[in-house]
Amino acid sequence: MAKKLYIKTYGCQMNVYDTVRMTDVLAPLGYETTDRPDGADMVILNTCHIREKASEKVFSELGQLRKLRDRRESEGGDRMLIGVAGCVAQAEGEEILRRAKHVDMVFGPQTYHRLPEMVAEALGNTSGRGISDTDFPVESKFDFLPEESQAHGSSAFLSVQEGCDKFCTFCVVPYTRGAEFSRPVTAIVDEARRLVANGSREITLLGQNVNGFHGEGPDGKSWRLGRLLRELAEVDGIERLRYITSHPNDMDDELIQTHRDLSELMPYLHLPIQSGSDRILEMMNRKHTGDDYRRVIGKLRDACPELALSSDFIIGFPGETDQDFADTLRLVTDINYAQAYSFKYSPRPGTPAAGIDAQVPEDVKSKRLAMLQELLNAQQISFNQSMVGKTLSVLVERKGREEGQLGGRSPYMQSVFIQAPERLMGQIVDVRIETARPNSLTGSVVTGDFGVLDAHNGDDAITAMEARI
């Protein structure tokens, strides 16, 4: 009988990809995925270490799992294996094994290809202490991962690059994910072909520093991301391409030109700047100024005028003054984002910024964050409003919450809801946008044999007036 596997994923898309690949590794051992921990024979938490809040969740979740496991044992059930994977495992593996004795396996993002050996060892382990594998092995896990054991959906992630050598002073990634590594182009193209053969139409290339990609090309030379995107655009069946996450300094001209040339490359780019203050950017070791960023955005918009932009912001980096924060607001106003993520600075153990004395008080961080988010929300709402009356192509990916409703993504990553028959799942359809909400759009399908289908006009649709409040 198949054994049940439940993996809970925290954090970024890299972790989402790793979770899928862990299920591929465990499939030959007879594990099938389930969407709940109770009744599972193995539970893995795939964790995130980026901010304190994300890390803390692991220990509370492990407490819940202990209860579940004890109950299962007292009811005479088989043993439940508990694993902790991802970046918290990498950074705090020993601490986890010490504090949570019921954890059987701890392993990092670079070693999950060895899961079969770890599982065998954990099942035979009677020492009362879990096993750990958090090396940075010389071999690449990609050379050992099996082919995908399942379809990855109409929109799939493909990891092309991992790790980071940039050492921004706030960030744990160089320590949890290790040095930059790019996969060879042929392996990436082969994986993309298999994804398409299994029904994927959109592929998002992933990397902590994806535009720092420098993988070996079929010609033996080092290829940058622009060249890789051109190669992938040639693959039959790939209709949409995206990439995430990029650093402004690696936005080379070849990559910028792909935004002009490739119709498959979606006109949406996540390009984090973190702060609009040159002083803070310097302290963050970002190695660029606000104006450098503005220039890159200018070039991108020249190449692709409809490009929608997104960014990450850290508020309350040590030493951030009112003036620094005002510079961030000014930059946001200048760029005009379609969407963005903003976070309060969270000191991370072992990173240089955590040791700076001038930490910003929590209440100041909160006030600034609220102001920034108000501005960003207003920009997002007006971006969404500007879509009303337009026809957007939508990749239909999932069922909506309401009866007969389906949801998908516009080229600009907006969630779009339509009333449509389920047979449209996995298709790219043209949708006339009728209403805009802060986080989604609704509209009617206008293409294909389907005729015009009624849109759902929800009560919570916003008007331009409300948007301004």
Interface residue list for ligand 5AD (CB under 6 A): 50-51, 170-171, 272, 274, 312, 314, 343, 345-346, 348
Beta bridge partners of 369: none
Q: Which does 176 bind (CB under 5 to 8 A by kind): ligand SF4, ligand 5AD, none?
A: ligand SF4
Q: Report the distance separating Cα 447 and Cα 442, nearest Å.
A: 15
Binding residue (CB under 6 A) for ligand SF4 from 22, 25, 48, 225: 48
Q: Report the distance separating Cα 43 and Cα 36, nearest Å.
A: 9
Cβ atoms within 10 Å, residue 62: 18
Sign of CA dihedral 137, 99, 27, 35: negative
Name the residue with tokens 């600034």.
Answer: 368
Q: Which does 49 bind (CB under 5 to 8 A by kind): ligand SF4, ligand 5AD, none?
A: ligand SF4
Q: Given the rule CB under 6 A, which of 12-20, 22-30, 276-284, 359-367 is the region that contacts ligand SF4?
A: 12-20
Sign of CA dihedral 174, 178, 179, 184: negative
DSSP 255-285: HHHHHHH-TTB-SEEE---B-S-HHHHHHTT
The residue nearest ligand 5AD at its CB is 312
| Interface with ligand SF4, residue 15, by CB under 6 A | yes
Do 91 and 84 meet the contact criterion of CB atoms below 8 Å apart?
Answer: no
Q: How far is the CB of 227 from ligand 5AD (least distance, A)?
A: 25
Q: How far is the CB of 171 from ligand SF4 (least distance, A)?
A: 8
The CA distances from residue 410 to 384, 406, 430, in Å, are 11, 13, 9
Q: Which does 48 bind (CB under 5 to 8 A by kind): ligand SF4, ligand 5AD, none?
A: ligand SF4
Name which of 340 and 396 has its Cβ closer to ligand SF4: 340
Q: Is the peptide bond before 245 cis (omega within 30 degrees of 0)?
A: yes
Name which of 7 and 50 has its Cβ closer to ligand 5AD: 50
| Interface with ligand SF4, residue 20, by CB under 6 A | no
Touching ligand SF4, residues 177-196 (CB under 6 A): 177
The DSSP symbol for 148 reads P
Q: Which does 314 bind (CB under 5 to 8 A by kind): ligand SF4, ligand 5AD, none?
A: ligand 5AD
Q: How far is the CB of 284 from ligand 5AD (least distance, A)?
A: 10
For the chain, how many residues are written?
469
String of contacts with ligand SF4 for each residue 199-238, x by CB under 6 A: ---------x------------------------------
Name which of 90 and 419 has its Cβ closer to ligand SF4: 90
Name the residue with tokens 């879509």.
Answer: 387
Structure tokens at 56: 């803390």
Touching ligand SF4, residues 400-419 (CB under 6 A): none
| Interface with ligand SF4, residue 247, by CB under 6 A | no
State in Å, rounded, how far the first CA of the chain is from the last one.
58
| Interface with ligand SF4, residue 12, by CB under 6 A | yes
Q: Which does 346 bind (CB under 5 to 8 A by kind): ligand SF4, ligand 5AD, none?
A: ligand 5AD
Q: Report the distance separating Cα 240 and Cα 233, nearest Å.
A: 8
Do 10 and 48 meet the contact criterion of CB atoms below 8 Å apart?
Answer: yes
| Interface with ligand SF4, residue 297, by CB under 6 A | no
Binding residue (CB under 6 A) for ligand SF4 from 14, 228, 269, 420: 14
Residues 6+ apart with CB under 8 A from 50: 11, 12, 87, 171, 172, 173, 348
Do 148 and 190 meet the contact criterion of CB atoms below 8 Å apart?
Answer: no
Name which of 68 and 354 has its Cβ closer to ligand SF4: 354
Residues 6+ apart with CB under 8 A from 347: 52, 353, 354, 359
Name which of 15 and 134 has its Cβ closer to ligand SF4: 15
Q: How far is the CB of 176 from ligand SF4 (least distance, A)?
A: 5
Binding residue (CB under 6 A) for ligand SF4 from 25, 45, 85, 87: 87
- The footprint of ligand SF4 (CB under 6 A) covers 11-12, 14-15, 48-50, 86-87, 172-173, 176-177, 208
